[in-house]
């Protein structure tokens, strides 16, 4: 899956440009940096590759979400509708602005169920935030229609879906703003980093300042900059941007390998009639970082997980239902509103309500789902071996459970 698997001289070269100049900060020190502006170059490369008008690099995907929300004016008391299956950073970013995360059910796209979104809208709803999990997309037509009807903002968390597209448009460039994460295990990496993409100039201008202590970047030097509003230090370093600059040029290389390996592995699992696959609103747009598949029942899925573990091949196969980072079921710190500082009352009330909220529709999906990460390093022989072992584990669990074919 991640670009770090194919580390090369291209990344080393970009890094050495920065090391030799000695200027690690993205702003200032014009004379000393020997013409190297890695963050600026990467921002332009992101716009060129993914089709956004503007890109603002920041220090992480979490910082990107926080910056985007601030630029969109999302804050105290505003409700942000988001999925019950995501990474913890998604709700952390919402809480960091003073807003209220409203978690709703997912369907077999593993993303927001549009009907659940519509049912969750209240007068306090300001934004719908689809999270394009595991390399693929939400139903963007349905979500755009809902946002248009109710005059809501649409913020795409595309941190896990770099290179995926929906009807020809890159995920992260469809809504009012979108974000990528460039952490170590993303399709392209900076080591640590993230970006806000937007086609709205007003949003970009605010992101540019907010992520750098509110600097307007209009002065002759940093000391002459004005501060039109409060901001934070979410800057990316030139070292991190240098890695990303090499990686963004290789994204299509990475995606091609992922798609080849994904298709080969899916071919093996397709031989089992009881296995079904994730619903894709646009199959052509899947970045193929994961192959997500379903079994008929939670009980059978758990048996397969146990068999994969017994055979020593569970690694790389994720049973999100029991995962501590990605599904509402295990987020006790969120549901108990456990924080090091006092949350505002609207946040605390909403979080405590999650303990009683019915997520049975999501449970019915996630309890049956296993996602297999796709490596860029697999050989044809390794894909074959992996596929055969997974199929053998499934068939053994099926035999023990005596589950009839769905056909």
Known catalytic residues are 186
Work out the angle at residue 271's Cα, subtended by the Cα atoms of residues 270 and 273, and round it to the nearest 5 degrees: 85
Q: Which among 287, 239, 264 is positioned nearest to 25, based on CA atoms?
A: 239
| C-alpha span between 43 and 241 (Å, rounded) | 9
| C-alpha span between 324 and 87 (Å, rounded) | 10
Q: Would you state the structure tokens that stand for residue 124, as one six-digit string?
A: 């306090």
**Going by DSSP bridges, is the β-strand pair 125-128/317-318 parallel, antiparallel, or unpaired?**
unpaired
**Going by DSSP bridges, is the β-strand pair 177-181/153-157 parallel, antiparallel, or unpaired?**
parallel
Query: Which whole-number Å values give the CA distances from 230 to 25, 191, 226, 327, in the listed order?
Result: 21, 28, 11, 33
| C-alpha span between 84 and 289 (Å, rounded) | 20
Phi, psi of 213 (to 5 degrees): 60, 20
């Amino acid at each position: 899956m991640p670009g770090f698997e194919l580390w090369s001289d291209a990344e080393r070269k970009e890094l050495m440009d920065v090391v030799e100049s000695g200027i690690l900060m993205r702003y200032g020190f014009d004379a000393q940096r020997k013409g190297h502006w890695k963050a600026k170059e990467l921002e332009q490369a992101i716009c060129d590759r993914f089709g956004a008008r503007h890109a603002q690099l920041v220090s992480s995907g979490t910082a990107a979400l926080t910056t985007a929300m601030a630029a969109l004016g999302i804050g105290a008391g505003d409700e942000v509708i988001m999925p019950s299956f995501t990474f913890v950073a998604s709700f952390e970013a919402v809480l960091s602005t003073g807003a209220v995360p409203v978690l709703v059910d997912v369907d077999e796209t593993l993303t927001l169920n549009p009907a659940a979104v519509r049912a969750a809208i209240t007068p306090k709803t300001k934004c719908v935030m689809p999270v394009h999990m595991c390399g693929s997309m939400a139903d963007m037509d349905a979500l755009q229609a809902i946002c248009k009807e109710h005059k809501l903002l649409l913020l795409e968390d595309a941190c896990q879906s770099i290179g995926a597209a929906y009807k020809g448009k890159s995920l992260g460039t469809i809504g009012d703003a979108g974000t990528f994460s460039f952490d170590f295990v993303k399709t392209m990496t900076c080591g640590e980093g993230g970006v806000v993409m937007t086609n709205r100039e007003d949003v970009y201008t605010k992101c540019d300042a907010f992520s750098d202590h509110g600097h307007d970047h209009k002065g002759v030097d940093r000391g002459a900059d004005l501060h039109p509003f409060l901001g934070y230090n979410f800057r990316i370093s030139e070292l991190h941007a240098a890695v990303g600059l090499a990686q963004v040029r290789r994204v299509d290389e990475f995606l091609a390998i992922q798609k080849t390996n994904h298709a080969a592995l899916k071919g093996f699992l397709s031989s089992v009639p009881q296995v079904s696959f994730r619903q894709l609103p646009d199959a052509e747009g899947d970045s193929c970082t994961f192959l997500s598949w379903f079994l008929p029942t939670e009980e059978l899925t758990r048996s397969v997980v146990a068999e994969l573990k017994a055979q020593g091949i569970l690694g790389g196969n994720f049973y999100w239902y029991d995962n501590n980072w990605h599904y509402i079921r295990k987020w006790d710190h969120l549901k108990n509103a456990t924080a090091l500082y006092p949350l505002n009352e609207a946040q605390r009330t909403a979080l405590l309500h999650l303990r009683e909220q019915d997520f049975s529709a999501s449970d019915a999906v996630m309890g049956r789902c296993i996602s297999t990460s796709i490596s860029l390093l697999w050989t044809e022989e390794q894909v074959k071996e992996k596929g055969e072992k997974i199929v053998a584990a499934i068939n053994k669990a099926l035999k023990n459970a005596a589950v009839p074919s769905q056909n």
